[in-house]
Structure 1
Amino acid sequence: MNARWAYIRLQSMIVKRMLANNVRSREIQQQVMRKKIQLCAESRFGREHGLKSIRTAEDFRRQLPITDFEYLRPYMDEVRNGNPRAMFGPQTRLLMFALTSGTTEKPKLIPVTDDFVKSYKRGWKIWGLKAHMDHMDLARKDYVHLAGDWQESQTESGVWCGSISGLAAETRPPIVRRPFIVPPQVGKISDWTSRQYMTLRLALPSRRVGMIITANPLTLISLANLADQHKETLLRDMRDGTISMPDGEKKSGDASFGQRVGRVSKRRCDELEEIVNRTGHLLPRDFWPELSVVGVWMGGSVGAFIPDVRKLYGESAFRDHGLSASEGRMTIPMQDESNAGLLDYTSNYYEFIPVAEFGTDDPTILESHELEEGQSYYILLTNSGGLFRYNIHDVVQCVGFEGQTPLLTFLHKGVHCSNMTGEKLTEYQVATAVREAFVDSGRTVETVMLVPVMERVPRYMLLIESQADHGVERLAEAIDARLANLNCEYENRLKTKRLLPILPKTVPSGTWTRLRNEKIADRGGTQEQYKHTFLGSSDAILDQLNLGSLARGR
């Protein structure tokens, strides 16, 4: 038995304990709530909100309103400017700020404390241990983890800002760090394409890669396409011991990566060259033949791209990454091929609002054990980073229970909903309809956007890049039909002619890449965090694309 498998067997008690405690998660959630209160009770925020007087969930709701970042901003600004006591007690240590991706607003800086990191690492540890328990072969294989940079910038007070995944990767214990063959320093390469090239340059020499982990399936598609696009350069670099970055710069090595970059064995180079000669491509399904697990988001809008990832990465098991954000981890998937995850009830305190009541003056507030299977909810999150009863804008569905603990799937961001005529169309419904329409027509899923257009009779416009022009009318009809099956109100509006059928409109090749880069430049965040929106919030995007009144048919 190797040392890694012995470590996994020893640590697996953490997983077994969590699964056993599912029957008492209600009690544990109350303990977690009190712990979060204690962390901030001595702060200015704590004094102004009477945190010391809170004993029960009812007290908690009475003393604290449902919050967003604007409500918390005065305290968070003080923390950013060097006064952590505005939000945290004297025992709490501020380590960094996590940058949000700015899905709904401008980027926010989320305080990452020592207790926050402890909870974050614990959730990932349980995820990883359960994956190993289900795939024992991983204990003798290598891993590729695409982490970010936790030191992207600094606040005025000198605190680092960036991706918490980078901090977690840099502080792994040695026995855990050893199998990860792409070092955390790669996440510090600012150019996205160069970062991915370096990832391949360091990971391709191993044919024993057993697991690859990243959040966004589009990242995996991009990585595979880059390997194929630069196959000759990669093979030459491995034989010569060089690094030829896509920007044209060529290095004979890089001291920051030590001996990881050097000449690769002739046997491995010959094997990769044989793959190219035989298949005409250099793709993960061929160059990593022992790949067992792909850890990636499988739900929400990005789930539409999972079939393409499977084509590129082969017959591996897919394990959902879990519902996680800069604000914290919320679910831990415990089995393959499912985007349902067990609520991470030991890390944060959660409350839920039924979707139908969201935005009303006095919505029903539920604890996790009170959810109903089949119903959808908004999450309110209380974490160790000063977020209390925080509306994270995530909509989830309860798909079952383990003891008192709900199993949740991510549906969509709550702001991604369109309602011109009462159809209440959601991002999840659009992503599902698009995926089914593409797959049923035998086409690879393309990046598209459905945009609401308010005319005399409203309709949705399907924006699709010009290289996919062939057959777009039939594709639009297929998406319409699937949306009608998914949403009875949408079906009714079509039948009663209050909505016109979807109108397809082609946009120039490269449009989505340009919009992605513009959004990241404007709002911050990273390529990894970026999630394409299948449902536009308004027809303002048409002017941004220079389609204007022509696209609206005026």
Structure 2
Amino acid sequence: MSLKRFLLVRVGRLLTWPVRRQLRRFEQQCENPQAVQAAVLDRILRKQANTGFGRDHHFAEIRTAEDFRKNVPVAPYEYVAPYIEKVQAGDTNALLADDRVLMFALTSGTTASRKLIPVTREYLAAYRRGWNMWGVKMYRDHRGRRIAMRPIVQMVGDPDEFRTSAGIPCGNLTGFTAKVQMRLIRRLYAVPHETGKMKDALAKYYVALRFSMDRNVSQFMAANPSTLVQLARTLDSQREGLLKDLHDGTLRGDLDIPAAVRSVLAPRLKPNPARSRELAAAAEKLGRLYPQDVWPSNATIVNTWTGGSMGPYLRQLPPYYGDTPVRDLGLLASEGRMTIPMANSTPSGVLDILSHYFEFIPEHEIDAKQPTVLAAHEITEGGSYYILPTTLYGLYRYHISDLVRVTGFLGRTPMVEFLGKGSRFANLTGEKLSEHHVTKAVDAVLKAIPQPITGYTLSPVFDDREPYYAIFLEESDATNAGQLRQFVTALDRELGVQNIEYAAKRESARLGPIRTKIIPAGTWAKWDAERLSKTGGASEQYKRPCLIGDANFHATMPVTRTI
């Protein structure tokens, strides 16, 4: 071990000592989740009692969890949106006791508008605590790989896409946290945070690789494994240009990189002819250049989501990255971290009971007028539930639509895995498409293009090279091929308008264009009758789903042809 490496490891151990102690304490607290959660809820209510939301919902009068449930409804983002709009305009106390909002984290919403989640100092404290405990446990489990204090490949987004009327930045949370990270840790990130300003997908992947190829990378980190698949494919397809740039210390001039970003990146690049020749020789011998050919798989780890619909992408990782461990990042979103995985190769993680107060609704009761609501200590192994976090930064009994299953317990605290976004969502690569997005898009396009539609449903279709969404239409609606193609092209574009995440996945080639799958006339009437007989209920109240999130749905339909 070199002196520099030795010193870095020693510094790393000093920096992580408080986190190691915190992790031990957390594991002890998991023995009594009921008491820990009661204290978390009390702290939230006491702190936020004098905010506009707190006064409107009588926080000062709440003494028990039952009082809390009577005063605050289970609700999605739209319920809290009016308060957040006031915060955007500068009235922080409408929702938050904090005197300052650092930024708004942007995420796609269940309606046409994007969600803005306020990021405060309390938010960052909880966010960092969860990440730190996740990281320390992950490092401790992989001591033999010596990954500590070695570079990490992680691409980030733009933390400052736009500003509110009060001047508060709105953008990507990972871009913001990378920017405000302590200098020593920030140096471990191979990809400069300034790349968040780049929009072109090819340029972004290329630059990430250019800055990583001559570093001793230990980890590849991305929320969605499809990002890592695309990164690996870009490395192979662009290897000639990358090796030349590595040799010369340059960055291709034809890449779509904003001038201001290029001016920051270019001076940081140094020529490395020896590394370029080494990798060129490997590429010549193998006829390819994959991540495992650049960074040995016995000294790296992949950190990414493994639950929900991620399976098909996870199966594509080994050919590119080799036999490297895969660690789930946990159930986390712009709304906050909800679980901390404690082992490899599983999406299951222990509830982060220190950061948020959690409630759960059994899966089969989600549409009931008065569903059963359970606390964290009341849910049972094997049960499937919708998770409802209450946070210190303005989200209360928040219906995020995440469906989870209890896989076991750490002490007495549930371990849960993410199953999906529920029946009203589809999520192949992180686009989180909702039925609302689909119906709004179809209605908008039909106003301009009079495509006949007897009935339709949109559903994801997984394909190794290019997954896509298919719209299922009956044969009688497909007599005008030209009009149908025009309609589907416009629908694909309009879905991107309704859901910016869908647009981003299409732009980055992680999703292909919508295709039409033609089914025989009368199929929908038969399908509806069969579904109604299984689910029960009155026919006059029945509504065919316009979005089915099952990627295997297409295999159950009598498709005669695909356009």
TM, length-normalised to structure 1: 0.77
Alignment pair present for 1:524 and 2:533: no
Alignment pair present for 1:113 and 2:111: no
Does the Cα contact within 8 Å between 2:130 and 2:337 map onto a contact in 1? yes
Query: Which of 156, 166, 169 does residue 147 from structure 1 map onto?
Result: 156
Query: Which of 311, 321, 326 does residue 303 from structure 1 map onto?
Result: 311
Offset, 1:72: 1.5
In structure 1, C-alpha distance between the alignment counterparts of 2:400 and 2:233, rounded to whole Å: 33
The structure-2 alpha-carbon separation of the partners of 1:464 and 1:84, relative to structure 1 and needing over 3 Å to count, comes to closer
Instruction: Find the counterpart in structure 1 of residue 184 from structure 2.
Output: 175
Does the Cα contact within 8 Å between 1:241 and 1:253 map onto a contact in 2? no
| CA distances 1:439-476 after superposition (whole Å, capped 9, x unpaired) | xxxxxxxxxxxxxx998xx999885779999xxxxxxx
Q: How does 1:342-421 map to 2 (within 5 A)?
A: 342-416=350-424
The structure-2 alpha-carbon separation of the partners of 1:467 and 1:190, relative to structure 1 and needing over 3 Å to count, comes to closer
Query: Which of 48, 57, 60 does residue 56 from structure 2 map onto?
Result: 48
Instruction: Find the counterpart in structure 1 of residue 449 from structure 2.
Output: none
In structure 2, C-alpha distance between the alignment counterparts of 1:166 and 1:253, rounded to whole Å: 14
- SS of 1:11's equivalent? helix
Aligned residues: 469
Does the Cα contact within 8 Å between 2:458 and 2:548 map onto a contact in 1? no
The structure-2 alpha-carbon separation of the partners of 1:279 and 1:250, relative to structure 1 and needing over 3 Å to count, comes to farther
Structure 2, gaps ≥5 residues long: 1-5, 429-452, 468-483, 515-543, 550-557
RMSD between superposed Cα atoms in Å: 3.7
In structure 2, C-alpha distance between the alignment counterparts of 1:459 and 1:71, rounded to whole Å: 28
1:187 partner letter: G
Offset, 1:205: 1.2
Does the Cα contact within 8 Å between 1:380 and 1:392 map onto a contact in 2? yes
Alignment pair present for 1:197 and 2:206: yes
The structure-2 alpha-carbon separation of the partners of 1:514 and 1:373, relative to structure 1 and needing over 3 Å to count, comes to farther
Structure 1, gaps ≥5 residues long: 418-425, 429-452, 470-507, 542-548
In structure 2, C-alpha distance between the alignment counterparts of 1:78 and 1:339, rounded to whole Å: 37
The structure-2 alpha-carbon separation of the partners of 1:302 and 1:462, relative to structure 1 and needing over 3 Å to count, comes to closer
Query: Which of 264, 276, 284 does residue 277 from structure 1 map onto?
Result: 284
| CA distances 1:159-216 after superposition (whole Å, capped 9, x unpaired) | 100111112111212332232222211222122221111111101111x211111101
In structure 1, C-alpha distance between the alignment counterparts of 2:371 and 2:400, rounded to whole Å: 16
- SS of 1:88's equivalent? coil
Offset, 1:342: 0.8
In structure 1, C-alpha distance between the alignment counterparts of 2:254 and 2:351, rounded to whole Å: 41
Instruction: Find the counterpart in structure 1 of residue 108 from structure 2.
Output: 101
Does the Cα contact within 8 Å between 2:457 and 2:545 map onto a contact in 1? no
In structure 2, C-alpha distance between the alignment counterparts of 1:376 and 1:262, rounded to whole Å: 52
Q: How does 1:152-171 map to 2 (within 5 A)?
A: 152-171=161-180
Alignment pair present for 1:241 and 2:217: no
Does the Cα contact within 8 Å between 1:379 and 1:391 map onto a contact in 2? yes
1:184 partner letter: H
In structure 2, C-alpha distance between the alignment counterparts of 1:323 and 1:169, rounded to whole Å: 20
The structure-2 alpha-carbon separation of the partners of 1:319 and 1:164, relative to structure 1 and needing over 3 Å to count, comes to same
- SS of 1:97's equivalent? strand
Q: How does 1:30-109 map to 2 (within 5 A)?
A: 30-89=38-97, 91-102=98-109, 105-109=112-116
Does the Cα contact within 8 Å between 1:211 and 1:293 map onto a contact in 2? yes
Instruction: Find the counterpart in structure 1 of residue 431 from structure 2.
Output: none
Offset, 1:148: 2.0
In structure 1, C-alpha distance between the alignment counterparts of 2:31 and 2:147, rounded to whole Å: 30
Q: How does 1:488-507 map to 2 (within 5 A)?
A: none
The structure-2 alpha-carbon separation of the partners of 1:27 and 1:306, relative to structure 1 and needing over 3 Å to count, comes to same
Query: Which of 304, 307, 312 does residue 320 from structure 2 map onto?
Result: 312
- SS of 1:244's equivalent? coil
Does the Cα contact within 8 Å between 2:283 and 2:289 map onto a contact in 1? yes
In structure 2, C-alpha distance between the alignment counterparts of 1:352 and 1:517, rounded to whole Å: 36
In structure 2, C-alpha distance between the alignment counterparts of 1:14 and 1:539, rounded to whole Å: 44
Does the Cα contact within 8 Å between 1:78 and 1:86 map onto a contact in 2? yes
Does the Cα contact within 8 Å between 1:416 and 1:427 map onto a contact in 2? no
Does the Cα contact within 8 Å between 2:387 and 2:401 map onto a contact in 1? yes
Instruction: Find the counterpart in structure 2 of residue 260 from structure 1.
Output: 268
The structure-2 alpha-carbon separation of the partners of 1:468 and 1:414, relative to structure 1 and needing over 3 Å to count, comes to closer
1:524 partner letter: I
- SS of 2:271's equivalent? coil
In structure 2, C-alpha distance between the alignment counterparts of 1:94 and 1:249, rounded to whole Å: 30
Percentage of matched positions with identical amino acids: 35
| CA distances 1:294-331 after superposition (whole Å, capped 9, x unpaired) | 10000001222101012211111100011111111111
- SS of 2:103's equivalent? strand
The structure-2 alpha-carbon separation of the partners of 1:552 and 1:163, relative to structure 1 and needing over 3 Å to count, comes to same
Query: Which of 128, 139, 143 does residue 135 from structure 2 map onto?
Result: 128
Q: How does 1:210-229 map to 2 (within 5 A)?
A: 210-229=218-237
The structure-2 alpha-carbon separation of the partners of 1:3 and 1:521, relative to structure 1 and needing over 3 Å to count, comes to same
The structure-2 alpha-carbon separation of the partners of 1:314 and 1:84, relative to structure 1 and needing over 3 Å to count, comes to same
Query: Which of 203, 227, 238 does residue 230 from structure 1 map onto?
Result: 238
The structure-2 alpha-carbon separation of the partners of 1:66 and 1:461, relative to structure 1 and needing over 3 Å to count, comes to closer
1:230 partner letter: Q
2:248 partner letter: D
In structure 2, C-alpha distance between the alignment counterparts of 1:175 and 1:69, rounded to whole Å: 37
2:245 partner letter: D
The structure-2 alpha-carbon separation of the partners of 1:16 and 1:57, relative to structure 1 and needing over 3 Å to count, comes to same
Instruction: Find the counterpart in structure 2 of residue 474 from structure 1.
Output: none
In structure 1, C-alpha distance between the alignment counterparts of 2:282 and 2:492, rounded to whole Å: 33
Does the Cα contact within 8 Å between 1:352 and 1:378 map onto a contact in 2? yes
The structure-2 alpha-carbon separation of the partners of 1:539 and 1:342, relative to structure 1 and needing over 3 Å to count, comes to closer
2:411 partner letter: G
Does the Cα contact within 8 Å between 1:379 and 1:396 map onto a contact in 2? yes
The structure-2 alpha-carbon separation of the partners of 1:514 and 1:322, relative to structure 1 and needing over 3 Å to count, comes to farther
The structure-2 alpha-carbon separation of the partners of 1:250 and 1:393, relative to structure 1 and needing over 3 Å to count, comes to closer
Does the Cα contact within 8 Å between 1:149 and 1:163 map onto a contact in 2? yes
The structure-2 alpha-carbon separation of the partners of 1:258 and 1:38, relative to structure 1 and needing over 3 Å to count, comes to farther
- SS of 1:33's equivalent? helix
In structure 2, C-alpha distance between the alignment counterparts of 1:358 and 1:540, rounded to whole Å: 17
Instruction: Find the counterpart in structure 1 of residue 24 from structure 2.
Output: 16
Does the Cα contact within 8 Å between 2:457 and 2:547 map onto a contact in 1? no
TM, length-normalised to structure 2: 0.75
- SS of 2:196's equivalent? helix
